[in-house]
Amino acid sequence: MVPCTDPITQAQGQTGEDVEAPIDQKELHEAAHSCLIDYGTPFHKNIIVRAEGLYIYTPENHKMLDWTSGQMSCLLGHGNPEIVNVISHHAAKLDHLFSGMLSPPVINLGKRLTALTPPGLDKAIFLSTGGESNEFAIRIAKFYTGKFEVVGLSASWHGVTAAAIGAQYHSGRAGYGPVMPGNFALPAPNAYRSIFRHPDGTYDWQTELSYGFSLIDRQSCGSLAAVIVEPILSSGGMHPLPAGYLKALKKHCEARGMLLIIDEAQTAIGRAGDMFAFQHYAEDEGVVPDVLTLSKTLGNGIALSAVVVSDAIAEKTAKDGFMYYTTHLNDPLPAAVGDKVLEIVERDGLVERSRELGKVLQKGLLRLQERYGCIGDVRGRGLMAGVEIVTDRVTKTPGFDLGNRIGERMADLGVWAQLGTHQSFAGVFRIAPPITITEEELEEGLEIMEEAFASTEGSLPLY
């Protein structure tokens, strides 16, 4: 087996200048398969040896615009100097503590975050991954309500821990035996593919939602505790909830004594053009979730998540003995990173920047849709977009193989954007570059996408 040497020091000279990297990717992949567990997705053909700013680099120094921000997380780009300084300082001075101890970074992040959330989201706790934050959210909802049934959307992704995956229907349920009892699914909003239509052909999400709850009511044993939803179903195909959906959902919850949990792992902190995506539509004005979960974008690639609840929920559950105690809750180092992320986003006006550049992104993607018949739908908000690939616009047949070939061509030309191929949402490119991207860099990526579509057989050019 070939030893895995340090690719960064091999790829750079003492001055930091790029030099030829003596790395054999084939040998490294063989080494990886000898010692690493497969976890449900093929390892990408390129082993990445460096990530800097908006780009990721292969051993051959081929750079790609990172249009997934890592795992939809590096909101401010890779190696952001201010984030690096925070990590370096706290790694040396204040990294990890006994879970019952507090530190200034945790208190500072709590104060900054709850100053940004609306009244009704008053107290926070800080954990590691998005899955853990949703596990906490569901656990506290059950404890607060004294009930146990949880409703999710049929194309949702909330994590792979027990309660989170019980409310997840996008993938990951088959082959593991029973999930947590009391889980039900509502039809996931999908304006492109839903069978619920008005006579004029427009999407009838109101009837779809009411019908979904009529089925829930028939299945429930009378112990409905919570609904958990994403404002934009990212892993489920980049589908934004329709305007007014959250208000209608909140009414359904109130009628049944349920809490509303909103999972903003990917959509918050400016990613979708608002500080929090649930605040976007005027039709949803006044809707505040009972529980809000954050992760990915809050930590800029560092494992950090948050749960925010009302004073009422926090006080009642504390009084009644709620317990959730893990090794890395309220750790100072990731909390300091989250505090710096929020500071930078506010200071530099990045929410507004994402909103405006999102218009540029959508315009460019719609221009591609006009040129290539394989693009069935373009959707999203802010710097968060979905491009659905089909082989026929009339039948909307998913174009999995075609999308893969376009994606490989894009990577070869210099843009990395993930194509989701799970059957639950057809083949959709998920695009989410760091929100520090410039308009010029955005146009550069769109030009590369254009070249990839133009040079891939089967893309159905229209002119």
Q: Are strands 375-381 and 384-392 parallel, antiparallel or unpaired?
A: antiparallel
Does the annotation count 381 as an active-site position? no
Does the annotation count 296 as an active-site position? yes
List all residues 6 or more positions away from 245 whose beta carbon is below 8 Å from its beta carbon. Answer: 189, 205, 209, 284
Phi-psi region of 159 (alpha: psi -120 to 50; beta: other; left: phi over 0): left
By residue count, the chain amounts to 463
CA distance 137 to 370: 42
CA distance 262 to 306: 12
Which is the catalytic residue, given 50, 66, 67, 157?
157
Which is the catalytic residue, given 123, 296, 340, 405?
296
**DSSP-derived secondary structure letter, 261:** E
Extract the tokens encoding 243: 């305007």
Task: Compute CA 203 distance to the chain's CA centroid, rounded to the nearest angstrom.
Answer: 25
CA distance 242 to 283: 9
Which is the catalytic residue, given 132, 263, 284, 339?
263
Which is the catalytic residue, given 230, 274, 290, 377?
230
Which is the catalytic residue, given 266, 271, 388, 416?
266
Return the number of other C-beta atoms located less than 10 Å from residue 307's C-beta.
25
Does the annotation count 200 as an active-site position? no
Extract the tokens encoding 281: 């539509």
Does the annotation count 263 as an active-site position? yes
CA dihedral angle for residue 355, residue 359, residue 264, residue 427, rounded to 10 degrees: -170
* Residue whose structure tokens are 């690939």: 389
Write out the catalytic residue numbers: 157, 230, 263, 266, 296, 430
